Structure 1
Amino acid sequence: MSDAERENTRPGPAGPTLEKPSEGGGPPAGGGAGMEQSSSAARYRPDPEADGRAGRFWSVRRVPAAVVGLLLLAATGLLLYDIAAVRADRPGAAWRRVLADELATRSLDDPWVVAAAVAAVLLGLWLLVLALTPGLRGLLPMRREKPDLRAGLERRAVAVILRDRALEVSGVQSARVAVSRRRIRVRAQAHFRDLDDVRADLDAVLADGIGELGLARRPALAVHVRRPARG
């Protein structure tokens, strides 16, 4: 990357953005009123038959597991200590006597009982979601060429690769790429050439780029090209 390109690099909210120095005296790319825009879905369509089979990576979720384990360990240890104290002819802990009394005297429609039940249900649902969902949404699995080898690409890395490919298209001054698990959205600014021609070239270049990534499930592609209106 040249010094001029490095100075024009700035992050964008939807993905990495890089601007090339303006060529041919065209207007600078940037936000503002009066944008000429060419928007359409790209001609590229994912081919499910060409995709491989590779499941998503599962998150180990160490923090939730550690928190739940420590809470259960503390509660179990406290309860066992109190039971052992009672077996040793010592009075039970005050908290256990109060809890037993509350459970015996409060009705099921009591606000505190309802609130505790709702909290327990929400906690249980949260734990089930963590147990049954893979997580790691920012990692896109790649095709498995060997059964004992798995690989994946971060979505931000995919955005950087495709952004660099988009900047190689003639007429593209800057490009912003947003990558999700199902779709890739590219917003480019062109400072010369017809917008439809630029978009067609972007369709072809980005389709080849997505195919070369080796993703197990190739996302759909949407390309939007615009340029500032000349004053």
Structure 2
Amino acid sequence: MSEPPYSEHSTQPLPVLRVGDPSHPADGDMFHKPGAGMPGEPADGPPEHFDGPPEQADGPPEHPAARGRRGHRFWSARRAPAVVVALLVLVVAGAFLYDIASVRTGRTGLRWRRELARQLATRPLDDSWVLVGAVIAALLGLWLVVLALTPGQRGLLPMRRPHPGVRAALRRDAAALLLRDRAMEISGVRSVRVRLRRARAHVRAVAHFREVDAVRADLDLALSDAVRGLGLTRPPALSVRVQRPRNKG
């Protein structure tokens, strides 16, 4: 007997899937065997111990484009030397231009320019005043060349660049103050004096109790960690010196 046709709005039975029927070998594979684990797990089951997420390095993540970049020193604007040189050039050029315009209009040239021309024409090259003027001009030119080729801003210590579009620097006195505060946290330290250079940090501490070697070891450990925490492109080397206070009288 044929089954009655189902209408569009009638209820239809769902197919039944028998799991684990011995008569269906394919279905027997769907049994969960002890120790077999679920799909995607190892055969011995889930791990018994979970250590948590992997540890991340201290500090912000480094941008891939910034890898290999090192922060360079900040260049000074050199406003004061530029203003001085510009004023000198303006005064000298203005005086010569005025004298040349006066001569072109039929007037007599300025006395200082005529005297200068006469002195340059009559004095020999080995004259003392000529040598002094040449030395002054050479030193002035050398000073300007040094200012043009050096960045300046010695009070700023460039920091690492975790992002390619960000540049930062740390003031040298602020870095020295931070190292001094870290050193004062060491037990047995009475006073600390820090002098921070670009390549080396000189630390002079006075210990009023504890052994000097123990205090120096603690200072080396604490200050090394503090220098790494500054995030400088060129961390300065440490030079730590510990001594006893001087006896008065």
| TM-score bracket relative to the smaller structure | 0.7 to 0.9
- CA shift for structure 1 position 60: 1.2
Show structure 2 runs of 5+ residues with no match: 1-66
* 1:140 corresponds to which of 157, 165, 168: 157
Q: Which has more radius of gyration? A: 2
Cα offsets for 1:11-56 (capped at 9, x unmatched): xxxxxxxxxxxxxxxxxxxxxxxxxxxxxxxxxxxxxxx9961211
Percent of aligned positions that are identical: 60
- CA shift for structure 1 position 126: 1.0
| Amino acid aligned to 1:176 | R
Show structure 1 runs of 5+ residues with no match: 1-49
User: Which residues in structure 2 correspond to 1:160-171 (within 5 Å)?
Assistant: 160-171=177-188
Give the Cα–Cα distance (whole angstroms) in 2 for the partners of residues 112 and 174 of structure 1.
55
| Amino acid aligned to 2:82 | A
List structure 1 segments (4+ residues) > 3 angstroms apart after TM superposition: 228-231
Does residue 115 (structure 1) correspond to residue 140 (structure 2)? The answer is no
Match of 1:193?
Answer: 210
Does residue 209 (structure 1) correspond to residue 226 (structure 2)? The answer is yes
User: Which residues in structure 2 correspond to 1:14-33 (within 5 Å)?
Assistant: none
Give the Cα–Cα distance (whole angstroms) in 2 for the partners of residues 213 and 196 of structure 1.
26
* 1:130 corresponds to which of 114, 123, 147: 147
Q: Normalising by structure 2, what TM-score?
A: 0.69
Give the Cα–Cα distance (whole angstroms) in 1 for the partners of residues 229 and 155 of structure 2.
19
- CA shift for structure 1 position 91: 1.5
Where relative contact order (Cα < 8 A, 6+ residues apart) is larger, the structure is 1
Give the Cα–Cα distance (whole angstroms) in 2 for the partners of residues 192 and 113 of structure 1.
66
- CA shift for structure 1 position 105: 1.1
Contact 1:140/1:155 (<8 A) preserved: yes
Match of 1:182?
Answer: 199
- CA shift for structure 1 position 191: 2.2
Give the Cα–Cα distance (whole angstroms) in 1 for the partners of residues 98 and 133 of structure 2.
25
Cα offsets for 1:128-155 (capped at 9, x unmatched): 1111111121211111222222111111
- CA shift for structure 1 position 229: 6.9
* 2:171 corresponds to which of 154, 158, 162: 154
Contact 1:85/1:92 (<8 A) preserved: yes
Match of 2:108?
Answer: 91
Aligned-residue CA RMSD (Å): 1.9
Does residue 77 (structure 1) correspond to residue 87 (structure 2)? The answer is no
Match of 2:75?
Answer: 58
